[in-house]
Structure 1
Amino acid sequence: MADILNISCYKFTPLPDAAQLRETLHERAQALNLKGTVLLAEEGINFFLAGSAEAVHRFVDALRQDERFADLAPKESWSETVPFRKMLVKVKNEIIRMDHPTIRPANGRAPSVTPATLRRWLEQGHDDDGREVVTLDTRNDYEVDEGAFAGTVDWRLTKFTEFPPALREHKAEFAGKTVVSYCTGGIRCEKAAILMRDEGLENVYQLEGGILKYFEETDGKFYDGGCFVFDGRDSLSTDLARTDLVHPRPIKKHLME
């Protein structure tokens, strides 16, 4: 029976007290017998947790008591077992490393499209203004190999820090088009969309909630394959059930790079 609740969530918000939060959140997660990873940085929080539904909800509800996290909206999926081996809470320089300090999502997000809107655009072949829609995968190459939107732009990144130079090399190819950046849960494509705007591309959006939210809120049409996830489940199908990896590879850690 799939009674283990898995959540992923992030929020860009200034956290000057990240070091103090680490101790509080680690103690709270341990007390609730949760497993997974919480990443904290001055720019925000990013976490992946698994446990009983009651415990997971209690952890999130407690987080929401802090006004900085009041609007957290985790993405949910279910599994028969806990896909993490331990509980880690870490303080890092960035919750997703881009090595581009001028990108500060907490100061203003790039426009986003809902999964339903992207699906409709892909169905009709253009956005609501008649422009061609291009999906841009901001994930690493091995993640893309497990599954991606049909016809997506894939720059064969091996780490997210390669995205800025790749964008500068290819951005002229997006002239006159609407670009929707996407990733697993939204965090990478949010930074990517802001950078694209800063680089002068006008019609740029991020996919709200990433692939996992697209699976949760649509029928998954126009996405081929599974979605690589950074835990023991390896890959999820469009119905958010575990599926075998197309290209099995040893997973040494479940932290995104």
Structure 2
Amino acid sequence: MNKPYSILLYYCYTPIEDPEAFRDEHHLLCLELNLLGRIIVSAEGINGTVSGLKEDCDKYMAWMKADPRFTKTDFKVDYSDKHAFTKLHVRYKPEIVHSGLTHIDPNKRTGVHLSPAEFKDMKDKEDVVVLDVRSDYEHSVGRFKNAVTLDIENFREFPEKVNELKEKYKDKKVLTYCTGGIKCEKASAFLLEQGFENVYQLHGGIIKYGMEAGGEDFEGKCYVFDNRVAVDVNRVNPKVVSRCYVCNTESDRMVNCANPVCNRHVPICENCGHEMEGACSAECKEHPEKRPYDGTGYYQKEMNGYNPLKGFNRKKKTDVQI
């Protein structure tokens, strides 16, 4: 049976002249199409992951493709029985992915884009190193076999690691990868700027590699930023690489600690999840602010006063050309 909902993952580096005005226009479009998810708009482009009924997502993609600024957008599309989000956030920020590398324009210079098939063909060669540019909690639950991973809590720490990478791998062909490709755009460009000569990136990231190359040699699950938390990628030679943070048994069940002050992203097996009430430690289990555990280990981010309807009076659909 066909699943009625689509989940879209996408980004596009493209100049947006008045990003805050575009953010308002784009937000209204998402409201009219009943989309939920997270979208970041900036002067350098757009970065989003949303869910909605298939026909509404198709309209959204058609609207984007019809705009010359976003014609090149590569949508990764998955399907679901329900929404992958519970709320809509469309925000203006200085960057579409926080890196601190604001001087880099991926449209001018970045690593060579490899299709999933090309990446698969190159990744095991002797003169190649495969570099995971994601955060530690992401690669802890899944990563390519033999990949170099970084001890970073977020992507903005990536530039600090380049000097030690240069000492080991400057003369290698460096194949970067991330979830959907967006981090690699600036990561690969920065590596080139720092003197690396042969830099490549997996176009479409892990998600597209799973769709087009069967996910071969991606071990574990791929961390995603929606209610699913982590998804299967490898249909060829799957393997679990993570262990329960509490009892150390093999587990790829990724959760957020129920203590919001901790909020650690870690694998916790189902038994420990229920025993610890979603907490990662005894201290977190007893924390007075601990959130109720519903068995998933996923908690919606606080709105912090953000109101998706602020400034909009649910304008008629005729106000937006869909």
Q: Same fold (TM over 0.5)?
A: yes
**1:138-177 residue pairs with structure 2 within 5 A?**
138-177=133-172
Question: Superposed, which structure 2 residues align to 1:90-109 within 5 Å?
Answer: 90-109=91-110
Moved more, 227-236 or 109-118: 109-118
Distance 1:106 1:89 in 2: 24
Distance 1:142 1:162 in 2: 14
In the alignment, the residues of structure 2 paired with residue 150 and residue 140 of structure 1 have an alpha-carbon distance, to the nearest angstrom, of 17
Alpha-carbon contact 1:181-1:189 (below 8 Å) kept: yes
Using the size of structure 2 for normalisation, the TM-score is: 0.73
Structure whose CA Rg is larger: 2
1:23-172 mapped onto 2 (5 Å cutoff): 23-122=24-123, 125-126=124-125, 132-172=127-167
Question: What is the percentage of aligned positions where both structures have the same residue?
Answer: 34
Q: Deviations over 1:163-183 (max 9, x none)?
A: 001012221211331111110
Q: 1:239 to 1:165 in 2, by over 3 A?
A: closer
Whole-Å separation in 2 of the counterparts to 1:199 and 1:251: 38
How far apart in 2 are the matches of 1:108 and 1:253? Answer: 35
Give the Å deviation of 1:105: 1.2
Q: Secondary structure at the match of 1:105?
A: coil
Give the one of 253, 267, 271 matched to 1:247. Answer: 267
Please, which of 228, 232, 247 is the counterpart of residue 233 of structure 1? 228
CA–CA separation in structure 1 for the residues paired with 2:111 and 2:122: 19
Would you say 1:20 and 2:40 are equivalent positions?
no
Q: How far off is 1:238 after superposition?
A: 1.4
TM-score (norm 1): 0.90
Distance 2:188 2:18 in 1: 27
Asked if the contact 2:171/2:196 (under 8 Å) is kept, the reply is no
Structure 1 Cα separation of the partners of residues 174 and 87 of structure 2: 38
CA–CA distance in structure 2, aligned partners of residues 162 and 251 of structure 1: 25
Specify every segment of 5 or more residues in structure 2 that has no aligned partner in the other structure, as ranges. 236-251, 255-265, 269-296, 303-322
Q: Secondary structure at the match of 1:154?
A: coil
Question: Partner residue of 1:181?
Answer: 176
Which has the bigger relative contact order, CA under 8 A and spacing at least 6?
A: 1
Q: Which has the higher helix share?
A: 1
- C-alpha displacement at 1:108, in angstroms? 3.2
- How far apart in 2 are the matches of 1:87 and 1:204? 36
Q: Name the SS for the 2:107 alignment partner.
A: helix
Helix, strand or coil for the counterpart of 2:153? Answer: coil
* Contact 1:10/1:45 (8 A) holds in 2: yes
Q: Secondary structure of the residue that 1:49 maps to in structure 2? A: strand
Aligned length: 246
Distance 1:251 1:181 in 2: 30
Give the CA RMSD over aligned residues. 1.8
- AA of the residue aligned to 1:55: D
**Partners of 2:67 and 2:109 in 1: how far apart?**
20
**Unmatched 5+ stretches in structure 1:** none
Change (3 A) 1:137 1:33: same
